[in-house]
Amino acid sequence: MSDLQYQYFKGFFEGHEKYILTYQSWRPIFCEKVVVLLHGLGEHVGRYTPLIEAFKNKGIAFYGYDQRGHGLSNGKRGHVPSFQHLAEDFLRFLKLVSVHENNRPLFVFAHSLGGLVCLNYLIDYHQKGGVLPQGVILSNPIIKLALVPPAWKVKLATTVSKILPGLLFHNEVNLNDLSHDPKIAESFDQDPLCHQKISAGFYVEMLKAMERVKNNPGAILAPTLMLLGGQDRVIDPKESQEFFSNMKAQKSLKLYPTFYHELVHEIGKEKVFVDIDEWILGFQEKVSVG
């Protein structure tokens, strides 16, 4: 991004087991808050420029990395040996950003797979010396898939994951279900850093991670803003609402009845940006009053 109001940087950091991952940052000269981006399955952090651009005059720095097997980072596309590797990568990146930004108020924006990674991290971050974000924004997090693969494929993946965990399948997502804007499906399809692959092993790991999250809503301590598309055909928004109702943390829910999966790429995404801005601003007002 070549916007003079941001200082752009691309670098590397060590994730779990010294795995090298690529990250990017967009930082204004005068920075008051920080948002860490955690992208979804098959994409990369470079696709979040609409969100970053919307906040370019808000004094917010954005940091994001491409998860292993995605984007500019190393790894077989669509394959991760263990879901906990993703949570451990996230732990290390949050620590890195927190130190770099001198403990400025830190928020997380996590979409889809990123939401599942973030929630798994939050369940036991304190036991691993992790950082608790001041607030977490979950955009259509994967808690339950709306798209159920054919029974034969699920059975095959479960069996194959024990023998050939790296065997790849198509993730069954229809790109037209990402957004009502047809340009989004086209750009995803033509983006060399995007893919629609998922391995047998990673699929089974995702199922375990979803179950872990559903069984631990009370363990999420970070204040949470959940953003849901009412017509999402990738994840099940009703299951996410049920999970939200069982959370004990300070929380807020925004439902966009006609939106699909990728809220930051939807027609009418400006409403989403306003809701995020108002929620983050609410923390600043509470601090000022206190």
pTM of the model: 0.95
The pLDDT, as a whole number, for residue 284 is 60
Per the structure, the count of domains in the chain is 1
> Taking each helix axis from N to C terminus, what angle separates 83-100 and 113-124, rounded to the nearest 10 degrees?
80
The pLDDT, as a whole number, for residue 149 is 72
Within a domain: 17:
yes
Within a domain: 43:
yes
The pLDDT, as a whole number, for residue 245 is 98
How would you write 187-248 as a 3-class SS string? HHHHCCCCCCEEEHHHHHHHHHHHHHHHCCHHHCCCCEEEEEECCCCCECHHHHHHHHHHCC
The pLDDT, as a whole number, for residue 4 is 47
The pLDDT, as a whole number, for residue 137 is 98
Q: Which domain holds residue 178?
A: 7-289
The pLDDT, as a whole number, for residue 9 is 97
Within a domain: 1:
no
Within a domain: 60:
yes
The pLDDT, as a whole number, for residue 3 is 47
The pLDDT, as a whole number, for residue 285 is 55
Domain with residue 254: its CATH number is 3.40.50.1820
**pLDDT profile of the chain (290 residues), mean per 10:** 74 96 96 97 98 94 97 96 97 97 95 98 92 97 88 82 92 96 98 96 95 97 97 97 97 98 98 97 59
Within a domain: 2:
no
The pLDDT, as a whole number, for residue 37 is 98
The pLDDT, as a whole number, for residue 286 is 56
Within a domain: 251:
yes
